Amino acid sequence: MLISLVLLGAVFAGLAFFVVRQLAEAQRQKKLEKITGVVERKEGTEKTAQKASVSKKLKDSGGTGPDGIQKGSIRDLIRQAGFDTPMRRYWIYSGITSFVVMMIFVIWGAPLLATILFTVTGFLGLPKLWLKFKAKRRQKAFLEEFADALDAMVRLLKAGMPVTEAIAMAGREFQGPVAVEMNYIYDQQRIGVSLAAASENAALRMPITEMQMFATAVAIQSETGASLSEVLTNLSGVIRARFKLKRKIVALSSEARTSAMIIGALPIMVATILKIVNPEYMSLLFEDRTGHILLWGCGIWMSLGVLVMRQMINFRI
């Protein structure tokens, strides 16, 4: 019992040290961003920084992962999910999640090593996984209306309205993530940020290829004075074609997805039915040490199989 308490204390001490270090790093990064912004304003290098940012965006256009989530800090992931939560609150929620997971496994009577591993997973893994899920769902909702928003902006640009007013109209007329991001670009432009820089910041909040194309088009138009309406028209057509292709792939892979779900759920369903029909036949797996080892082995191999099947039917566009 004493060893268990010591190990749990060590785990929580390590988690506390990790949180303090992350908060200190976040504060340092925030101060560095402020200092960098002041220096750029004093030196008047906004145009140079804008060109470098456009070049970097064109070079790193494939910087998102297979799930469409850009690899970055937790703060960036929070913004991508559509939240404005400070880091302190995120770590508080992570601590609550890990404590709940630990209490569940302690009440269940799980082994100490499993309790420690799942507690750490509840602290570092589950909150981040939930943020990725929210960010991916937000990106999907954004893509469903982004092409229509671009078409509306093109009509206003052809009617003679400036780009900023067209973006403001998209923020007023549309809802969901499209309205949020367009209003973000308009508000940033109103407080003195250039339109190209505001679009690039929005592309960091919505790290998908379509938004990066939009930010690049706005940046190039602000530098060269090219026709933005023609660029946005082509971009709208590309977005609709990509969206159509994604839905076609989902339809063609639906049979494989259904088969994967059935194969993954079949062992659990059979075990549950056998447990109900003949409890003594399945009791060895839950009461004997060898049965515990077999259960852990089956769980690990089933998880690996599900991951492999997921990668086989997950197509990146």
Tens digits of residue pLDDT in 98-139: 899 888 888 887 778 878 888 888 888 888 889 889 888 988
Domain positions in the chain: 2-40+53-134, 136-247, 253-313
Give the span between the Cα atoms of 106 and 291, in whole angstroms. 20
- pLDDT the model gives residue 27: 62
User: Helix 177-190 vs helix 126-158: angle between axes, to the nearest 10 degrees?
Assistant: 70
Give the span between the Cα atoms of 249 and 245, in whole angstroms. 6
Instruction: Give the distance between the most distant pair of CA atoms in the chain.
Output: 79
pLDDT band for position 225 (cuts 50, 70, 90): low
Give the span between the Cα atoms of 186 and 72, in whole angstroms. 25
Least confident span in 32-36, 123-127, 162-166, 196-200? 32-36
* Residue in this structure with the two tokens 């799930």, named with its chain if needed: 67
- Global pTM reads 0.65
Give the span between the Cα atoms of 313 and 311, in whole angstroms. 6
Query: How buried is residue 85: exposed, middle or buried, by Cβ count under 10 Å (0-12/13-18/19+)?
Result: middle
Pick the CATH number of 136-247 from 1.10.10, 3.40.50, 1.20.81, 1.10.150: 1.20.81
Q: Which residues contact 245 (CB under 8 A, 6 or more apart)?
A: 317
